[in-house]
Amino acid sequence: MSIEAQTIHRETFVLNLGPQHPATHGVLRIKLTMNGEYVEDADPVIGYGHRMQEKMGENRTYAKFLPNTARMDYVAALFNTHGYVCAVERLAGITVPDRAEYIRVITAELNRIASHLLWVGAFLIDLGGFTPLLYTFDDREQILDLLESITGARLTFCYYRFGGVCNDIDEQFISGTRAFIARLHSRMPMYHALITQNIIFRKRCEGIGPIPAETCRKYGGSGPVLRGSGVSYDVRKNEPYSIYPRLDFNIPVYQECDCTARYKVRMDEMVESMRIIEQSLDQLPAGPVMAEKVPKLLKPPKGDCYFNVESARGVFGVRLVSDGTDKAYRLKLRSPCFSNLSLFRDCSRGMLMADALALLGSLDLVIPDIDR
């Protein structure tokens, strides 16, 4: 038998996690070198979903690339679109009207809540508890219905345009969003009672998967992974963009560096996002939702720029190099999950496999975002 053969000659054996596996969210393969139940080395192999989005960015006009941005991190699609659109606007010098900025923030934060709700359900499934997924998806359905009514899509939104958004929001959306926020506020105690205080969940997550802040700095980790390790870095506060400076919200930071810290960061971020949405709805000005005089075929001046947004998973960056034509010369998409996954190898050494999988789940990876 092959198992016999390997254990006779070596202590360790190689176990393949994926590419088809229930716990890796997408097509990810991890070559685990195991010593019994302990992970000696975990080497992620990516690229199974690689579509060469960056080349597509060079082959299409700026507007034609907009749908692509939603297909990378499809769970939190609006952030990728936001980053791309803002990078182009920065280079082309387009100013976005206030109402459009507020709408962008409202929809983006709704998307953040939806993404975190999906993560909570998926994380619990990784740990073996199947029921919370159905509850979080119930809430997420409401968000998707709201966003569908104005964007026309449930998952892969193509809503932002250069200079604003393509559709205005209506009274139904506003009242629906307020009702949803009220409902989610009332459901948060239930989530905390069902999950956060569950003894088995706590045993699976407390002290598990420590990621020191220094490791995050060396690898470029960002987002809830970073904030769960005690570093208060959020692009919305440290490098503000859009209308975030006008809004009052906190950045949840936890010091424990373990899976529980990352879970708590995301739960608190949902509450903060709800605050942001409420303030934005209160402050929503009247006005146009598209800037005037944006050329149909956008040709930004020569040069390059960088734009950062705080996606649900971390810092999503776009480096755009333009040569004055209607197609980008170079479009670099900096994916947060890419850097977050790169620290998995270092952090999972010596762990039990179940704990390594809990760590992998807590990183909140969407593989198409990594593979692009």
Q: Is 13 in the site for other proteins (CB under 8 A)?
A: yes
What one-character-per-residue DSSP string does 252-310 give? ---SS-SHHHHHHHHHHHHHHHHHHHHHHHHHPPPS-SB-SS--SS--PPSEEEEEEEE
Q: Which is nearer to other proteins, 274 or 347 (CB)?
A: 347
Task: Tell which positions 277-316 bind other proteins, by CB under 8 A.
Answer: 303-308, 315
Shortest distance, position 220 Cβ to other proteins, whole Å: 4
Smallest gap from residue 77 Cβ to other proteins (A) = 20
Q: How many residues does the chain have?
A: 372
Site string for other proteins, 103-142 (x = CB under 8 A): ---------------------xxxxxxxx--xx--x----
Measured distance CA(138)–CA(115) in Å, rounded: 13
Give the bridge partners for 33, in sequence order.
14, 41
The site map against other proteins for 193-232 (x = CB under 8 A) is -----x-xx-xx-----------xxxxxx----x----x-
Binding mask 319-358 for other proteins (x = CB under 8 A): x-x-------xx-x-x---xx--xx--x-----xxxx-x-
Give the span between the Cα atoms of 68 and 75, in whole angstroms. 14
Residue with smaller CB distance to other proteins, 151 or 260? 260
In whole angstroms, what is the distance from residue 364 CA to residue 338 CA?
A: 11
Give yes or no for residue 144 binding other proteins (CB under 8 A).
no
Secondary structure of 140-200 as H, E, C letters = HHHHHHHHHHHHCCCCCCCCEECCEECCCCCHHHHHHHHHHHHHHHHHHHHHHHHHHCCHH
User: Position 361: which residue type?
Assistant: G
Residues in 352-371 that interact with other proteins by CB under 8 A:
352-355, 357, 371
Q: How far is the CB of 60 from other proteins (least distance, A)?
A: 14
Q: Does 239 bind other proteins (CB under 8 A)?
A: yes
Q: How many residues at the interface with other proteins, by CB under 8 A?
A: 72
Helices and strands (H, E) in the chain, number of each type: 16, 8
Closest CA to 84 of 110, 60, 116, 115: 60
95 touching other proteins, by CB under 8 A = no
When the beta carbons of 157 and 241 are compared against other proteins, the nearer one is 241
Tokens for 82? Answer: 């936001």
Residue nearer to other proteins on the CB measure, 178 or 246: 246
